[in-house]
């Protein structure tokens, strides 16, 4: 099954969140304001692709869907790494089915710099952990990543992007990721629902989309079920 960047970050906030993603996704309730924020983040990421000029995007979808084809993307990425493409966007990597798609890889004389794009005015700890997970996957895939940056949004359209060097912090998470990724892999496959009492992890660093389910709000659970069946 494998773990993606999103899986890992959600699983580290709360393992039950990841289990529900895999086994009961119909119970997920995403508030409209959260979806708007996610959409805005995607738009900002699309704009950032061109921040260094011409680029090659690795995104490949499964036929007839908008679901990324991870294997095809990883193969396409390998081809561009071999060719020495200067800027690769959505560069995809698979390591024992664990997966990441790096926002921007920019070629250097001896390797690549990695840029993770976030639609935020400042760098948060979660962003660095996110980049650390991706560095782990790329490191295991023998990609020579040199520097790691978080790209945040600038004060105006004249300066839309701010580049923040987080190399030391992100690379320091290598062991932390390795210590947790395999446990999350095993946990998400278990048949029985993961048990954990509601607590701080329900809202920090982000409010969980299964908050109503875990706190016993049956009406919301029924609404989620109806939406799933209707779709």
117: Cα separation from own chain's centroid: 11
pLDDT at position 219 is: 44
Q: Looking at residue 193, what is its pLDDT? A: 94
pLDDT at 1: 78
Q: Is the pTM of this model over 0.85?
A: yes
Full domain range(s) for residue 205: 5-230
Helical residues (DSSP H) of the chain, grouped into ranges: 5-13, 15-23, 32-48, 70-83, 125-140, 167-171, 174-189, 211-214, 218-230
Query: Could you give the number of structural domains in the chain?
Result: 1
**Beta strands, E only, 85-209:** 87-95, 98-107, 112-117, 145-156, 159-165
pLDDT at 217: 62
pLDDT at 230: 45
Residue owning tokens 């090659």 = 56
What CATH number is associated with residue 225?
Answer: 3.90.320
Low-confidence stretches of the chain (pLDDT < 70) are 217-231
């Amino acid at each position: 099954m494998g773990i993606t960047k999103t899986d890992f970050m959600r699983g580290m906030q709360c393992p039950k969140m990841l289990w529900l993603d895999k086994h009961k996704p119909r119970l997920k309730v995403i508030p409209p304001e959260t979806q708007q924020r996610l959409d805005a983040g995607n738009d900002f990421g699309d704009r950032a692709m061109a921040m260094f000029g011409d680029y090659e995007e690795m995104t490949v979808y499964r036929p007839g869907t908008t679901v990324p084809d991870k294997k095809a993307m990883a193969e396409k990425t390998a081809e561009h790494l071999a060719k020495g493409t200067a800027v690769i966007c959505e560069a995809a990597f698979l390591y024992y089915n664990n997966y990441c798609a790096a926002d921007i890889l920019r070629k250097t004389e001896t390797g690549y710099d990695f840029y993770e794009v976030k639609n935020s005015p400042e760098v948060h700890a979660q962003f660095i952990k996110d980049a650390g997970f991706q560095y782990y996957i790329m490191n295991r895939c023998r990609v020579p990543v040199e520097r790691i940056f978080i790209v945040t949004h600038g004060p105006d359209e004249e300066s839309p992007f701010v580049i923040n060097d987080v190399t030391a912090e992100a690379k320091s998470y290598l062991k932390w990721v390795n210590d947790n990724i395999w446990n999350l892999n095993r946990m998400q496959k278990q048949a029985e629902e993961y048990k954990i009492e509601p607590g701080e992890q329900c809202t920090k660093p982000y409010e969980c989309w299964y908050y109503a389910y875990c706190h016993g709000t049956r009406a919301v659970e029924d609404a989620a079920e109806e939406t799933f069946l209707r779709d």
